[in-house]
């Protein structure tokens, strides 16, 4: 995994204790997954062998459709429909 796929989430509990957890961002849907302490790798999601980046549980094993490519496809469709005045 590249360094930019990793992140950190911090929040303060009601008692004032600061909780810090590692996170990963899914390369297919852009969802952020919090990695609980002691979690096994398969509990956190998956890994796309085509993108060579981590995925969330929902995208694991669904095939490779990177988030940016899907956005580009949606934008191209919207431009086509706009040009057709639909």
| 50-81 tens-digit pLDDT | 888 888 888 888 888 888 888 899 999 999 99
Please state, in angstroms and rounded to a whole number, the distance separating the CA atoms of residues 56 and 31.
Answer: 7
- Pairing mode of beta strands 6-12, 18-25: antiparallel
> In this predicted model, what pLDDT tens digit does every residue of 14-48 receive, in sequence order?
899 998 888 988 988 889 988 887 777 677 788 88
Beta bridge partners of residue 25, listed in sequence order? 32
Distance, CA of 79 to CA of 67 (rounded, Å): 19
Query: Does residue 76 or residue 4 have the better pLDDT?
Result: 76
pLDDT bracket for residue 1 (50, 70, 90): very low
- What is the C-alpha to C-alpha distance for residues 2 and 17, in angstroms, rounded to an integer? 30
Of the candidates 67, 3, 61, the residue with the CA atom closest to the CA atom of residue 31: 67
Domain ranges of the chain: 3-83
The reported pLDDT for the residue numbered 41 is 67
């Amino acid at each position: 995994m590249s360094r930019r796929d990793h992140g950190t989430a911090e929040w303060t509990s009601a008692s004032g204790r600061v909780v810090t957890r590692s996170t990963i961002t899914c390369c297919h849907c852009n969802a952020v997954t919090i990695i609980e302490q002691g979690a096994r790798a398969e509990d956190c999601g998956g890994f796309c062998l085509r993108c060579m980046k981590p995925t969330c549980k929902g995208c694991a094993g669904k095939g490779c459709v990177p988030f940016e490519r899907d956005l580009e496809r949606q934008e191209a469709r919207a431009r086509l429909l706009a040009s057709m005045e639909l």
